[in-house]
């Protein structure tokens, strides 16, 4: 397997340009395919939610139709993501797209009972973890150096943009005919599969049959590589903390808009503004920070932006109008997006190739669980205390947590050693490594090999 991730840290040269990133033909195919799949996913969420509500007139069942898409991550995301390590990434992505296309066509059958709709939606979303894990592991094989960081930033930004476009377009189309929106989603999956199949060349699986053990054991190795190495663990804390606080305004938007609107704008407008603010800020932050600052400057900005993200939400303690809340949420999203791509880039460089999909599964599942818990806990607290007080104090706690995380950040030598260890593992012949063991790099029996020297990527 060719080594595609550079050994060195990000250079001090100027940032890579969007043109340089999109000049990579295979990345273009993966980028467009991912954008199509994401838009289709959010269109389908809006359509299925409305479809179930039209059938049952039940808000609870309608909400269940929305929430069921998160269940695969919560119930078995790391295990499903581990499957992506066993097969060629292109093959996994194409197969998952075709499976989801077929299931969406079934959901679009008129007058299908809502029980069948919920079951089919759950089945379709089971393909999300392996597909996204394969994509996350494939991109570092397509881009190197600062092009990888900019590419990851573009990928994150288009995901947020797809959420906004998908929800708006999906709600509009579903109001006319939910089945049409579902057919649109099926078409996006089909086109995505075609783009990946024709636009990405075949690469062998990073794990050959001789290296396989038990799927649960392989999943456990993914947890080990993230949490048993100090650098990866530090990044996990940083990323999880960012998700823990940035999601709260979006999750409480409906109650906030109805409780706090003073008549300047309608409750519906206030809710929409708060809900889209974080994704819009994330899009702008990802694009502008990665484009305006070079790699060395972005590396220096990463930890200050991590502390700044929750700090920007502390002023909601003053009970500002909803549109000001939306502005603060957008600035928070901007700070998070400015921090994440650099963290992702360092993670990719310091993680052995054979663990990428599994590490993505661990982190993506963690993000889903932490975001859900953050909204749940703050929602319960908001039943007893004013929302501005809850969010303001929650964010103040986030500032403390982020400050501790950044102060305990591994020193440069530790990170450099992690990158060197991963590069050495990637350069070793796969046959020499044999079956990998828990928490080790390249299957080495040394329990300290690579320990304390790795960096984590989330999206």
Q: For the segment 85-120, what is each residue's pLDDT rounded down to a tens digit? A: 788 999 999 999 999 999 999 998 988 888 898 899
> Over 80: is that where the pLDDT of 193 sits?
yes
Q: What pLDDT does residue 427 have? A: 66
Q: Which of 278, 276, 295, 212 has the alpha carbon at shortest distance from 242?
A: 278
> Over 50: is that where the pLDDT of 443 sits?
no
Q: Average of pLDDT values for 60-87?
A: 75
Q: Average of pLDDT values for 212-226?
A: 74
Higher pLDDT, 264 or 149: 149
Which span out of 12-16, 113-117, 294-298 was modeled with the highest average pLDDT? 113-117
Q: What pLDDT does residue 307 have? A: 93
Q: What pLDDT does residue 1 have? A: 33
- Which of 217-221, 282-286, 416-420, 431-435 comes out lowest in average pLDDT? 431-435
Q: Average of pLDDT values for 111-140?
A: 88
- Which of 2-11, 21-30, 94-103, 226-235 comes out lowest in average pLDDT? 2-11
- pTM of the entire predicted model: 0.66
Average pLDDT of the chain to the nearest whole number: 78
The two structure tokens encoding residue 364: 């993506």
> Over 50: is that where the pLDDT of 454 sits?
no
Q: What pLDDT does residue 453 have? A: 32
Distances in Å between the alpha carbon of 112 and those of 45, 56, 106, 403?
16, 12, 9, 52
> Over 60: is that where the pLDDT of 218 sits?
yes
Share of the chain above pLDDT 90, in %: 18
Three-state SS sequence of the chain: CCCCCCCCCCCCCCCCCHHHHHCCHHHHHHHHHHHHHHHHHHHHHHHHHHHHHHHHCCHHHHHHHHHHHHHHHHHHHHHHHHHHHHCCHHHHHHHHHHHHHHHHHHHCCCCCCHHHHHHHHHHHHCCHHHHHHHHHHHHHHHCCHHHHHHHHHHHHHHHHHHHHHHHHHHHHHHHHCHHHHHHHHHHHHHHHHHHHHHHCCCCCCCCCHHHCCCHHHHHHHHHHHHHCCHHHHHHHHHHHHHHHHHCHHHHCHHHHHHHHCCCCCCHHHHHHHHHHHHHHHHHHHHHHHHHHCCHHHHHHHHHHHHHHHHHCCHHHHHCCCHHHHHHHHHHHHHHHHHHHHHHHHHHHHHCCHHHHHHHHHHHHHHHHHHHHHHHHHHHHHHCCCCHHHHHHHHHHHHHHHHHHHHHCCCCHHHHHHHHHHHHHHHHCCHHHHCCCCCCCCCCCCCCCCCCCCCCCCCC
> Over 80: is that where the pLDDT of 217 sits?
no
Q: What pLDDT does residue 55 have? A: 82
Q: Average of pLDDT values for 152-161?
A: 80
Q: For the segment 225-238, what is each residue's pLDDT rounded down to a tens digit? A: 778 777 778 888 88
Share of the chain above pLDDT 70, in %: 83
> Over 50: is that where the pLDDT of 5 sits?
no
- Which of 258-262, 272-276, 395-399, 425-429 comes out lowest in average pLDDT? 258-262
Distance CA 459, CA 456 (A): 10
Confidence band, pLDDT 50/70/90 cuts, at residue 417? confident
> Over 80: is that where the pLDDT of 266 sits?
no
Q: What pLDDT does residue 210 have? A: 63
Confidence band, pLDDT 50/70/90 cuts, at residue 56? confident
> Over 80: is that where the pLDDT of 215 sits?
no
> Over 70: is that where the pLDDT of 254 sits?
no
Q: What pLDDT does residue 394 have? A: 93
Q: What pLDDT does residue 219 have? A: 75
Higher pLDDT, 172 or 101: 101
């Amino acid at each position: 397997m060719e080594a595609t991730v550079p050994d060195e840290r990000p250079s001090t040269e100027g940032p890579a340009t969007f043109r340089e990133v999109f000049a990579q033909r295979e990345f273009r195919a993966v980028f467009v395919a991912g954008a199509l799949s994401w838009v289709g996913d959010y269109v389908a969420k809006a359509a299925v939610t409305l479809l179930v509500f039209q059938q049952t007139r039940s808000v609870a069942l309608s909400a269940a139709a929305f929430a069921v898409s998160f269940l695969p991550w919560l119930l078995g995301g790391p295990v499903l993501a581990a499957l992506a390590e066993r097969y060629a990434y292109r093959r996994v992505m194409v197969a998952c797209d075709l499976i989801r296309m077929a299931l969406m066509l079934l959901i679009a059958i008129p007058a299908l009972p809502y029980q069948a709709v919920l079951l089919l939606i759950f089945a379709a979303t089971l393909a999300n973890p392996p597909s996204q894990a394969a994509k996350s592991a494939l991109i570092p094989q397509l881009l190197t150096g600062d092009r990888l960081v900019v590419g990851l930033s573009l990928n994150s930004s288009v995901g947020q943009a797809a959420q906004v476009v998908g929800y708006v377009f999906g709600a509009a189309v579903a109001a006319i005919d939910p089945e049409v929106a579902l057919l649109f989603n099926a078409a996006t999956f089909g086109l995505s599969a075609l783009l990946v199949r024709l636009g990405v060349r075949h690469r062998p699986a990073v794990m050959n049959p001789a290296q396989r053990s038990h799927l649960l054991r392989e999943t456990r190795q993914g947890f080990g590589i993230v949490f048993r190495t100090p650098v990866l663990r530090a990044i996990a804390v940083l990323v999880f903390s960012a998700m823990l606080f940035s999601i709260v305004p979006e999750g409480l938007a409906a109650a906030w808009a109805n409780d706090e609107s003073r008549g300047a704008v309608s409750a519906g407008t206030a809710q929409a503004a708060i809900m889209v603010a974080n994704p819009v800020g994330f899009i702008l932050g990802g694009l502008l920070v990665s484009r305006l600052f070079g790699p060395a400057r972005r590396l220096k900005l990463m930890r200050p932006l991590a502390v700044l993200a929750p700090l920007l939400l502390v002023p909601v303690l003053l009970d500002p109008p909803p549109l000001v809340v939306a502005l603060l949420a957008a600035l928070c999203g901007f700070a998070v997006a400015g921090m994440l791509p650099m963290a992702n880039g360092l993670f990719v460089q310091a993680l052995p190739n054979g663990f990428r999909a599994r590490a993505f599964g661990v982190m993506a599942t963690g993000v889903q669980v932490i975001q859900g818990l953050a909204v749940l806990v703050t929602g319960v607290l908001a039943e007893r205390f004013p929302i501005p007080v809850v969010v303001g104090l929650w964010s103040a706690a986030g500032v403390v947590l982020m400050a501790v995380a950044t102060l305990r950040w591994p020193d440069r030598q530790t990170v450099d050693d992690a990158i060197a260890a991963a590069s050495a593992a990637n350069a070793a012949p796969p046959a020499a490594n044999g079956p990998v063991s828990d928490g080790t790099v390249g299957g080495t029996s040394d329990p300290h090999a690579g320990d304390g020297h790795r960096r984590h990527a989330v999206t």
